[in-house]
Amino acid sequence: MKSATKTIPIRFLQWKINMKRDLSAVVWQEDEWFVAQCLEIDVASQGESEKATLENLREALTLHFTPPVASILPNVRKIELEVAA
């Protein structure tokens, strides 16, 4: 039912400037599913095999680092705030 936990380094491209970052993932099995969690960033994924789980985690991490793209440009506004000296 429970297998040994493994730490596996994963590499992926971050943003579109070809910056590579090495991250570690812990992989374990829960019943019939494998679970992978990135140790440096709180992102996890699952799959039916260890390989599929790591591919899913790599995709989730890529999405995590992809900046949001607004379909409507935001309005930039200034606000005034009084703070204690």
Domain boundaries, the chain: 6-65
Q: Reply yes or no on whether the pLDDT at 41 is more than 70.
A: yes
Sheet holding 44-47, edge to edge: 6-14, 19-30, 33-38, 44-47
**What confidence tens digit (pLDDT) does each residue in 52-81 have?**
999 999 999 999 988 877 788 778 899 999
Q: Which two tokens stand for residue 81?
A: 């705030």
Which stretch of DSSP H or E encloses residue 11? strand 6-14
Where is pLDDT greater, at 53 or 5? Answer: 53
pTM (predicted TM-score): 0.62
Which stretch of DSSP H or E encloses residue 78? none
At 45 the pLDDT is 97
